Amino acid sequence: MTPRPLITALVLLTVASAAMAHHSPFLFFDPTSTIEVEGKITKLQWRNPHVVFQLETTDSSGEAAAWTLETHSVSILRRMNLDRDSVSVGDNVKVAGWPSKRGGHELFITNMLMPDGVEIAFDPGAPPRWADEAKGDKSTWMATVDSAAGGSAEGIFHVWSTSLVGGDGNFLYEGYDFPLTAKGQATRSSYDMYSNPILGTCEYKGMPTIMEQPYPMQFAKSHNRILMHMEEGNIVRTFDMTPGASVAGKEPTALGHSIGEWRGDTLVITTTGSSWPYVDMTGVPNSPDALYVERFTPSDDGKTLDYTLTITDPDTFTETPTFSKQWLWVPGAVVEPYDCVPENEN
């Protein structure tokens, strides 16, 4: 039987497959510098893809300034037990966070001090800054094999989560360092991340960029297919497991066309025909003729899932790169509904 969350996702996929443009804050903000700002919350957008506040400040000379404060998505904050009621319009607060790399009054906030003295940590890795402790449960995002222990899992057919512990292996394109051709470098150099229309929108995100998403995902069987349900945008990828299956003659789509096979306990997926123009959120170009080979390998104890993505695309890469990450089995984790609200809507 197909799990209920996956059935819901399949319905949503046929109606409107919108995906948020999740992006790493490290690309747009400077985590090596933390600044503090005080003022009054004048607007609150508690939404995916990112929660956004407007903060009105006044400097020592009486000049007013409006700050845009961004933090993680509702999907991330939900797992930290933070909700819309945590902050209200009209609250006078102090915030700490990372300044925007493009300058201006923009901040990615990690901590917020409320009028009653309660501190909120909006980033799972952020320690308390002003109080002895901070509101915001980080246990889910900072889970380890030991902390998530409990029972046993077999194979890949359950929910897998991303852990932020340790750095390496958490995100697919660690460091965003690619062996690019001259053409690939030129295209990436001309790409403006800040003005890209998919940032802050609910536009469908395709292969291979969708594999950057950090939220839980699950596998399920459906006849001669395997379905991969990803929380971001309620995306469902379909892997055709029919022996000898072919994608010849199929029109390109954002997710491409995927054929799968088992090699021992490893699920190997070959995908072609992606019409999505990017490899990642920094503008590395994706060619229509690119070939992706993915390998999903569960550990012997079923608690981790190793993943590799190999891209063959001579138009973009000087060699055939392989990227990797690891998911963790966290008992009780589910793929939550994903409601994306465009940046220009409340």
Examine the pLDDT at 81 and tell me if it is beyond 90: yes
127 versus 62: the higher-pLDDT residue is 127
Confidence label for 153 from pLDDT (cuts 50, 70 and 90): low
From the list 311, 281, 283, the residue with the least C-alpha distance to 295 is: 311
Contact 9, 18 (CB under 8 A): no
Write the burial class of residue 246 (CB in 10 Å: 0-12 exposed, 13-18 middle, 19+ buried). Answer: exposed
| Mean local confidence (pLDDT), 290-314 | 95
pLDDT of the residue at 15: 29
Sequence-separated (6 or more) residues with CB below 8 Å from residue 212: 22, 24, 171, 172, 173, 280, 281
pLDDT in tens, 271-288: 999 999 999 988 999 998
Least confident of 49-58, 169-178, 210-219: 169-178
Q: How confident is the model at residue 166 (pLDDT cuts 50, 70, 90)?
A: low
Cβ-based neighbours of 311, under 8 Å, separated by 6 or more: 208, 279, 290, 291, 292, 317, 320, 321, 322, 323
| Average pLDDT of the residues of the chain | 87
Run of H or E including 10: helix 4-15
pLDDT of 43 above 80: yes
Token pair of 247 as six digits: 């994608």
pLDDT surpasses 60 at 104: yes
What is the arithmetic mean of pLDDT over 134-157? 83
Higher pLDDT: 324 or 197? It is: 324
pLDDT at 151 over 90: no
Which pLDDT value is given to residue 49? 85
Task: Please determine, for residue 199, whether its predicted confidence score (pLDDT) is greater than 70.
Answer: no
CA-based torsion, 281, 285, 287, 291: positive or negative: negative
Q: Give the pLDDT of residue 7.
A: 36
Q: How far apart are CA 232 and CA 204, in angstroms?
A: 10
Beta-strand relationship, 257-263 and 235-240: parallel
Residue 23 has pLDDT above 60, yes or no: no
> Does residue 335 have a pLDDT over 90?
yes
pLDDT at residue 14 is higher than 50: no
Complete domains list, the chain, with CATH: 4-19+146-328 (2.40.128.20), 25-121 (2.40.50.140)
% of residues, the chain, pLDDT over 90: 64
Rounded mean pLDDT, 134-143: 92
pLDDT for the residue 102: 85
pLDDT at 4 over 50: no
Q: Could you tell me which residue, 5 or 224, shows the higher pLDDT? A: 224
Q: Decide if pLDDT at 10 tops 70.
A: no
CB of 303 closer than 8 Å to CB of 329: yes
